[in-house]
Chain A
Amino acid sequence: MTLLRVEHVDKSYGDEEVLHDVSFEMQRQDVEVIVGPSGSGKSTLLRCVNRLTEIDDGAIYLDGEEIHALDENELRRRVGMVFQDFNLFAHRTARGNVTLGLRQVLGMPREEAEATADDYLERVGLADQAESYPAELSGGQQQRVGIARALAMEPELILFDEPTSALDPELIGEVLSVMRDLADEGTTMLCVTHEMGFARSAASRITFLDDGRIVERGPPETLFEDPEHERTRAFLGELAGIQ
């Protein structure tokens, strides 16, 4: 069943066209990985989906409803986001980061929110860090709190914008392993990531974005083994070479 449909989306900043006629569809439980060079519009595309950025043209449908017909807060409750820089609320503990949305957005009573938060922290392997403040956590732990915070809202789709790029290499694994578990459990995920191991094993589809356009899109086997475009081969080859 189609959960997300992006249709002919255009987006410019001033004279610079950042997204050009971007269209694709995701089914429930899909894991879509977006790759592309720096500045190709990956973050912009993700941000258009939860309306942190507004599109200029085209349409985006979540479960059949055009997202601009929805209340933006309602949309964002249904579409979670995980950031490259984690963006944890610095003044709140790990638990407090997760409870804030539960309390303020969902109106959950305190005790229920705390119990729920602890469940999600446990799911990302941080049951013992519930009382820690972000500054007391490693990058990998912070990002897992970020994931728990997004998950706790029970979104239909989660956007990941390079969730491991800010991490030291030895901390990447713990975050990817959480993401892999989510994928296995059937979470619908739209991920910008250059972790090719994750893409190969977890992605239902990979989209290669260059200069605001979708160059090629397909299952990982096709893109890695037999891409249609030379540019795709070159880019993925380079990524694989780096790792």
Chain B
Amino acid sequence: MDPVLLQASDWQFVLENWQFLLLGTVVTVLLTATSLGLGFLTGFPAGAIEVYGSGRLQAAVSTAGVVLRGTPIVVLIVLFFFGLPLPRLGTVPLLEVDLKAFVAATLALGLRSAAYQAQVFRGAIQSIGEGQMEAARSIGMSERQAIQHVIFPQAIRRSIPGFQNEFTIVLKDTSVAFAIGLAELLTRAEQLYLQPGRDTAVMEVLIAISAVYFVLTFTTNRTLDYLNEVYAVPGGNE
């Protein structure tokens, strides 16, 4: 059969399967959320340790960062899936998500994101002038109090553009969970066009899911831009 690009019947096929793709979209969104959450909860302290820590802890954190940033994400995800002693956790009905694969994907995407978020946060902390710490210490605040009440609040605001960037990257990179068969958007897309006689619909299906990724990135970025504006402090990003 001669695969004619973008024919009406294939678009029809995409539309008929919108629910099937929607379930994949839900998994993609969930995986993005858990990965970014893990990335933030780990990356934020890791960035702080890189700046304020010392000794073995600091060395361990920065080595872990170098390794995670230097490994292809597909390799990480496959390694975590087959290499970690994760128990079989069963499958979520409807979404048809293998929980073990979901956990492995969250760990891979989350820790890799943590390694990048740590860099974002570290840079933001280091961009805060020395004078802020001195001013805090000069009124009798401890170093801990100064970090908590003066440095972090400013550093977090300055990290928002970097975190926003991370969000876009993680969202799109959830598609590598395809490599371990997790039923996210790309995996489901493949399941559609691999059905017998549907190889003509490859382009249509991929274009459709790209549109989904685009809409998700675009709307979330706009929302974050808006929040950024609402919570902005005059001169806070200088």
Q: Hey, which bits of chain A sit against chain B, CB under 8 A?
A: 50, 52, 73-77, 80-81, 83, 85, 87-91, 100-101, 104-105, 133-136, 146, 149-150, 153
Whether A104 contacts B234 by the Cβ 8 Å rule is no
A90 with B233: CB separation less than 8 A: yes
B128-155 contact mask (Cβ, 8 Å, vs A): 1 or 0: 0101101111111110010001100110
Check B236 for interface membership: any CB of A closer than 8 A: yes
- Distance of B196 from chain A, by nearest CB (Å): 60
Contact B140 A91 (CB under 8 A): no
B132-A87 in contact (CB<8A): yes
* Among A75, A88, A91, A101, residue most surrounded by chain B Cβ atoms (within 10 Å): A91
Flag if A77 contacts B235 (CB, 8 Å). Answer: no
Which of A88, A89, A90: most chain B CB closer than 10 A? A90
A52 touching B137 by the CB < 8 A rule?
A: yes
Considering only residues 125-184 of chain B, those with a C-beta below 8 Å from chain A are 129, 131-132, 134-142, 145, 149-150, 153-154, 157
A90 touches B154 (CB 8 A): yes
| A52 with B134: CB separation less than 8 A | yes
The reply to whether B140 and A101 contact each other, CB–CB distance below 8 Å, is yes
Cα-based distance from A88 to B134 in the complex (angstroms): 10
Q: Which of A73, A87, A153 contacts B134 (CB 8 A)?
A: A87
Q: Determine which of B134, B138, B141 lies in contact with A104 in the assembled complex, contact meaning CB atoms within 8 Å.
A: B141
A76 and B135 in contact (CB under 8 A), knowing A91-B153, A104-B149, A135-B235? Answer: no
Interface contacts beyond A52-B137, A76-B138, A90-B132: sample of 12 additional A-B pairs, CB < 8 Å, sorted by A: A76-B137, A87-B134, A89-B136, A90-B235, A90-B238, A100-B139, A100-B141, A100-B149, A100-B150, A104-B149, A133-B233, A133-B234
Q: How far is the CA of A104 from the CA of B149 in the complex (A)?
A: 9
25 sample A-B contacts, Cβ–Cβ < 8 Å, listed by A number: A52-B134, A52-B137, A74-B140, A77-B139, A83-B134, A83-B135, A87-B135, A89-B132, A89-B136, A90-B236, A90-B238, A91-B153, A100-B136, A100-B139, A101-B139, A104-B149, A133-B233, A133-B234, A134-B234, A134-B235, A135-B233, A135-B236, A146-B135, A149-B135, A149-B139
Inter-chain contact A50/B233, CB cutoff 8 Å:
no
Q: State the interface size on chain B (CB cutoff 8 A).
A: 23
Supposing A91-B233, A104-B145 touch, asked if A76 and B139 sit within 8 A by C-beta, the answer is: yes
Which residues in A have their C-beta under 8 angstroms from that of B153? 91
Task: List B contacts of A90 (CB < 8 A).
Answer: 132, 154, 233, 235-236, 238
Q: Which residues of B contact A (CB under 8 A)?
A: 129, 131-132, 134-142, 145, 149-150, 153-154, 157, 233-236, 238
Q: Which residues of A contact B234 (CB under 8 A)?
A: 133-136
Given that A91-B153, A100-B149 are known contacts, is A52 also in contact with B135, CB under 8 Å in the complex?
A: no
- Which residues on A sit within 8 Å (CB–CB) of B142? 73
B219 to chain A, nearest CB (A): 28
Cβ contacts under 8 Å, A135 to chain B: 233-236, 238
Contact A77 B157 (CB under 8 A): no
B139 touches A91 (CB 8 A): no
Task: For A83, list chain B residues within 8 Å (CB).
Answer: 131, 134-135, 138
Are B131 and A153 in touch, CB under 8 angstroms? Answer: no
User: Which residues of chain A are near B132, meaning CB under 8 Å?
Assistant: 87, 89-90
Residues of B within 8 A of A150 (CB): 138-139
Query: Does B235 lie within 8 Å of A153, measured CB to CB?
Result: no
B150 and A89 form a contact (CB under 8 A): yes
Choice from A105, A133, A134 contacting B139 with Cβ under 8 Å? A105
Please name all residues of chain A whose beta carbon is closer than 8 Å to the beta carbon of B137 when the two chains form the complex. Answer: 52, 73, 76
CB distance from B136 to the nearest CB of A (A): 7
Min Cβ gap A216→B in Å is 29
